[in-house]
Amino acid sequence: MTLFKKPVSVKGALLLLLLPAGIGLMAIAWLVHGLLLERMSREFVESRLKDEVAFLEHHIRQAEGQLNMLQTGDYFEEVFHHAFAIKSPDQTVISPQSWYPLLSPLLQSDEQKSIRVNNSKISNAPSDILAYRKSFSVKGIPITVIVSEDMGALQNSQAELHAWTAIVSILLIFLLVGIIWFGINLSMRPVVSLQAALKRLQSGEISRINAQAPEEFRPLVQQLNQLLDSLDQRLERSREALANLSHSVKTPIAAVRQVLEDTSRPLDNDLRYEMGSRLSDIDKQLEAEMRRSQFAGPQVGKSAYPVKQARDLLWMLGRLYPEKSFELSTSLTEEFRWPIEAHDLNEILGNLLDNAGKWSAECVELSLEQHDGLAQIIVTDDGSGVSEGEWVHLGQRGRRLDEQTPGHGLGLAIVREIVVRYGGQVFFANGSKGGLKVRIEISV
């Protein structure tokens, strides 16, 4: 059983966090204020007492230690409003007389510092005092001087000031609650508009979210719109694939059916070859559409390890083309990721390397780099190359520049289609060794 219920809204969570934090900080500030006020008042009183002790010492030294010359009634008490005690071997002077039981024991002490007396029970004397004691000699005569102040009145003033501080702190807490509530409501207005946009999206009034979302929610809105775009693209691709497949296999199937239904002609070798060719066309179309259906395109949370996948493919193609060498150059580590679906990256690398392996004479070079937010894949072979005028035809579905080399002409078309889905580009150029150089750039 949980003691606290989990907040069900951002507003509730903010209030649950900010209000106790504000109240706690205000209480700490009030306590610190009390401690600082006590310390400052004590230091101020001690400073005054030290100055008055120094004043008394000056007059005693002028009187050459003769206390009788200083006895002018309650002169020092009236001037400084403090009680004092002066002791020499021959005489003790304490003013006012009611403080005698309180200050007399302090004259016997050997301490030469500030002395605090609390909870005194002497009648006609304060219960809480702060005194400063100093001993010195004048012409060999030991003199002890004590000046003290009643701390009760000062503490009453401190308590009153501290109480007013508490009242002001409580008022500030209420003001803080109002400011927090207003700030939360103001900051939640964009979220309310975003919530309304989601409801309109659910009801079908809009197809994308165009609300002005807060900066913290913009990535979420972008990912949601991207997900909607991806779903629309998948639906469109599925419909397009079905239409293409239906259109492309209808003619070969009709031709095969016509041959099979024509009982007047025997199945000689020519007819068998024609039927095999038609069935081969159907197989090619099925293979192409099946491969296209496996392309994922940009997917949130999907990533690939380009270096690891490239090494696995190079090892496999090295076995497929043992007479040729496949080399990899990259500054990326094996743990480096690209936000590309793993199967899509395998299709890109596999088709490029397989084509390069077919056309190369001895060596195929693969380069993987990332610069300025662009993932770069470069495949270069040392084959006969392709003339610049033919570059425009590379990557067209079913278009092959050399019918003698095995294949269906789908490799570069598949690569181009996947790259376009990721918003990338495919560039063709002549390689440094005379072959074809294919460069792919995708934003990451």
Q: What confidence score (pLDDT) does residue 405 get?
A: 42
pLDDT band for 248, please (50, 70, 90 cuts): low
* Other CB atoms within 10 A of residue 3 CB: 4
Burial of residue 254 (number of CB atoms within 10 Å: 0-12, 13-18, 19+): exposed
pLDDT top residue among 323 and 115? 323
Rounded Cα–Cα distance for residues 215 and 234 (Å): 29
**CATH class of this structure's domain 306-443:** alpha beta
State the chain's mean pLDDT as an integer: 78
* Most confident stretch, 112-126, 238-252, 419-433: 419-433
Over 80: is that where the pLDDT of 133 sits? yes
pLDDT band for 329, please (50, 70, 90 cuts): very high
pLDDT tens sequence across 102-116:
888 888 776 677 788
Tokens of 213: 């979302």
Q: What confidence score (pLDDT) does residue 70 get?
A: 62
Using CA of residue 102, residue 107, residue 108, residue 109, what is the dihedral sign?
positive
The residue-averaged pLDDT of 159-175 equals 85
Over 70: is that where the pLDDT of 150 sits? yes
Percent of the chain, pLDDT > 90?
Answer: 10
Q: What confidence score (pLDDT) does residue 247 get?
A: 61
Lowest mean pLDDT segment, chosen from 73-87, 127-141, 150-164, 169-183: 73-87
Over 90: is that where the pLDDT of 368 sits? yes
What are the residue boundaries of the structural domains of the chain, listed by start? 13-156, 215-293, 306-443
Nearest by Cα to 100 from 124, 82, 118: 124
The residue-averaged pLDDT of 192-208 equals 78
Q: What confidence score (pLDDT) does residue 407 get?
A: 40
Percent of the chain, pLDDT > 70?
Answer: 78
The residue-averaged pLDDT of 346-369 equals 90
Amino acid at site 250: K
Query: DSSP secondary-structure letter at 7?
Result: P
The distance of Cα 131 from the centroid of its chain, to the nearest Å, equals 57
Q: How many residues does the chain have?
A: 444
What pTM did the predictor assign?
0.46
pLDDT tens sequence across 211-239:
777 777 778 788 788 777 777 777 776 76
The residue-averaged pLDDT of 157-164 equals 83
* Most confident stretch, 102-111, 251-260, 288-297, 406-415: 102-111
Over 50: is that where the pLDDT of 117 sits? yes
The residue-averaged pLDDT of 22-44 equals 84
Over 70: is that where the pLDDT of 418 sits? yes
Classify residue 430 as left (phi > 0), alpha (psi -120 to 50) or beta: beta
The residue-averaged pLDDT of 412-441 equals 86
Q: What confidence score (pLDDT) does residue 146 get?
A: 86
Over 60: is that where the pLDDT of 300 sits? no
* Most confident stretch, 71-75, 129-133, 165-169, 314-318: 314-318
**CATH class of this structure's domain 13-156:** alpha beta
Q: Does a cis peptide bond (omega within 30 degrees of 0) precede residue 96?
A: yes
Over 60: is that where the pLDDT of 408 sits? no
Dihedral Cα 9, 14, 19, 21, nearest 10 deg? 130
Over 80: is that where the pLDDT of 271 sits? no
Over 60: is that where the pLDDT of 6 sits? no
Q: What confidence score (pLDDT) does residue 284 get?
A: 65
